[in-house]
């Protein structure tokens, strides 16, 4: 019998870059992630949609995974020509660890899955704060800080907009870590995250401005015309937007004051050729009931 497991993707809402230095950040799990279909087989085999099995191979090697046919696939219905920066490698790592532990009847508590998936992901990627692994493991909207159990916070009506261009996180983080002004930046970022709940829209706007200033001083290629346009459109409709993650492309997140403003913002982005991703806040990694899914992995 084939069993299906799913892990969500993520968008970072606030606290990027500073989270690498141990500061808190806010992250939301979204229902565009990775699924794996596992069927018993005499010999293990791994299949991935993009031909890169480094993360899942390492995850399966770190667990007591039984022989099986492991078919990994994108989950959630978004078919984009390039990666939108939603933490796919972390989702794949988490879903592989969770599925292998489920098949071996091992502990599936989030802390147990994270304890395996996080070091695997960091080893293969070469670095990482763990925030994307945590989002895929626990799900929902979280306050994340390395070394602490993630704490759920109130879900936000986020609009996620893809710029149409993928960006590399690693080189940007390396440049950030070489920057001498990190101490003051980390303190400012921490204060914004700690006070985020009081006024999320204002905090989103202020965090975006803080990140733009940091990137300019550190020499990080952060802004793009598409990201600037998303921010401008959100502002024009009474809201706020900022890049999600390392910048330079990928996605932005926006908050608008009400449903009418949200609809107008979405229409304006679409008219400008920007891709608004149909996302919802998602639960953490779990096994799916096959009866509730269509062939693309979306719920019926």
pLDDT in tens, 42-90: 999 999 988 889 999 999 999 988 899 999 999 886 555 556 778 899 9
Nearest to 244 by CA among 73, 85, 127, 109: 85
Residue of higher predicted confidence among 293 and 216? 216
Tokens of 226: 């598409």
Q: Rounded to two decimals, what is the model's pTM?
A: 0.91
Tell me the average pLDDT of the chain. Answer: 92
Three-class DSSP category at 222: coil
Report whether 281 contacts 29 (CB < 8 A): yes
Using 50, 70 and 90 to split pLDDT, how confident is the model at 101? very high
- The domain defined by 3-155 folds into Ribosomal Protein S5; domain 2 (3.30.230)
Q: In the chain, which segments carry CATH 3.30.230.10?
A: 3-155
Nearest to 27 by CA among 158, 180, 132, 104: 132
CA atoms of 88 and 111, how far apart (whole Å): 20
Q: What is the pLDDT of residue 164?
A: 87
Task: Say what percent of the chain tops pLDDT 70.
Answer: 94
Q: In the chain, which segments carry CATH 3.30.70.890?
A: 159-277
Which CATH number is 159-277 given?
3.30.70.890
Mean pLDDT of 123-139: 94
| CA-to-CA separations, 120 to 14, 28, 116, 218, 300, in angstroms, rounded | 25, 22, 7, 29, 33
Q: What is the pLDDT of residue 79?
A: 58
């Amino acid at each position: 019998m084939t069993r299906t497991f799913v892990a969500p993707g993520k968008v970072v809402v606030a606290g990027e870059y500073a989270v690498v230095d141990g500061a808190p950040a806010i992250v939301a799990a979204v229902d565009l992630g990775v699924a794996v279909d596992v069927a018993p087989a005499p010999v293990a085999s791994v299949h991935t949609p993009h031909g890169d099995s480094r993360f899942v191979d390492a995850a399966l090697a770190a667990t007591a995974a039984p022989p099986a046919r492991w078919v990994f696939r994108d989950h959630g219905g978004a078919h984009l020509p390039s990666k939108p920066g939603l933490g796919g490698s972390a989702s794949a790592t988490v879903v592989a660890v969770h599925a292998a532990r489920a098949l071996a009847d091992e502990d599936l508590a989030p802390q147990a899955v994270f304890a395996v998936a996080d070091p695997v992901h960091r080893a293969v990627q070469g670095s990482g704060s763990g925030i994307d692994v945590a989002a895929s493991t626990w799900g929902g909207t979280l306050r994340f800080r390395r070394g602490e159990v993630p704490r759920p916070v109130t879900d936000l009506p986020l609009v996620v907009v893809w710029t149409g261009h993928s960006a590399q996180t690693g080189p940007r983080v390396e440049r950030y870590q070489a920057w001498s002004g990190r101490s003051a930046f980390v303190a400012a970022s921490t204060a914004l995250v700690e006070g985020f709940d009081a006024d999320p829209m204002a905090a989103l706007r202020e965090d975006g401005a803080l990140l733009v200033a940091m990137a300019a001083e550190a020499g990080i290629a952060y802004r793009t015309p598409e990201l600037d346009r998303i921010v401008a459109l959100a502002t024009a409709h009474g809201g706020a937007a900022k890049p999600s993650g390392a910048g330079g492309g990928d996605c932005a997140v926006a908050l608008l004051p009400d449903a009418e403003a949200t609809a107008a913002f979405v229409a304006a982005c679409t008219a400008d050729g920007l891709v608004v991703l149909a996302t919802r806040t998602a639960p953490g990694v779990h096994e799916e009931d096959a009866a509730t899914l269509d062939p693309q992995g979306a719920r019926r």
